[in-house]
Amino acid sequence: MVLQVREMTSEEHERVEQLARSRTESARLVERARIVASSRAGMRVSAIARDLHLSEKMVRLWVKRFNANGLAGLHDEPRSGRPATYTPEEVGEILAASLTKPTALGLPFASWTLDRLEAYVNEEKNIAIKRSRIDELLIAEGLRWRTQEGWFGERAAREKASAAADPERDKPVDPEFAQKRGRSRPSTRNNRQAA
């Protein structure tokens, strides 16, 4: 027996076509909608799998899920296992640490990275959390990483003169870098003139 998508309502057909052409929905959902749309157009499972570079098993799975659950069947089901949960106090400690300068906490670096923040929170605060989850918490709070100046001392010093809001914000990591570095050399040699 040939596996085909069941008869769709006009609303389902319209939504599947919209999802199949979408550039803003998740790639998974668009791919699943394309499977259903191709099946509705009369394509066989093997042809759909070949066209979309998927396995036939995957195509069958999504056609069957759509047939059983309609549009809701195209979405991911809940994952097994309990998701990690953190108390509001733990989330508050993570956010407070991320907003505190590492040097104020006695750490030997001037700015946070996700790896440094993860190590600090795991070791000092005894909160078992992964860096990806820390990133999710920060994004959920509307926080984002600021691009660091690094060792470009002269540029940071010029910008510091124009930024009066926070005198510590654009402080170069090594204020004496320009003197230690010495004169800049050109990166390419000049071509010699032919005689």
Is 136:145 a contact under the CB 8 Å cutoff? no
Asked if 101 and 124 sit in the same domain, the reply is yes
Asked if 22 and 66 sit in the same domain, the reply is yes
136 within a domain of the structure (yes/no): yes
126 within a domain of the structure (yes/no): yes
Per residue in 135-186, pLDDT (tens digit) is 888 888 888 766 554 544 545 555 555 555 555 555 556 667 667 766 666 6
Q: Decide which of 74, 98, 129 is a domain's last residue.
A: 74
Q: What does the alpha-carbon distance between residue 122 and residue 129 come to, in Å, rounded to a whole number?
A: 7
Range of the domain at 160: 149-182
Q: Taking the C-alpha atoms of 37, 41, 42 and 47 in order, what is their torsion angle to the nearest 10 degrees?
A: -60
195 within a domain of the structure (yes/no): no
Please report the sign of the dihedral spanned by the C-alpha atoms of residue 120, residue 123, residue 126, residue 127: positive
pLDDT range class, residue 82, cuts 50, 70, 90: confident
Per residue in 47-70, pLDDT (tens digit) is 999 999 999 999 999 999 999 999
Asked if 160 and 113 sit in the same domain, the reply is no
Asked if 133 and 155 sit in the same domain, the reply is no
Per residue in 3-31, pLDDT (tens digit) is 999 999 999 999 999 999 998 888 899 99
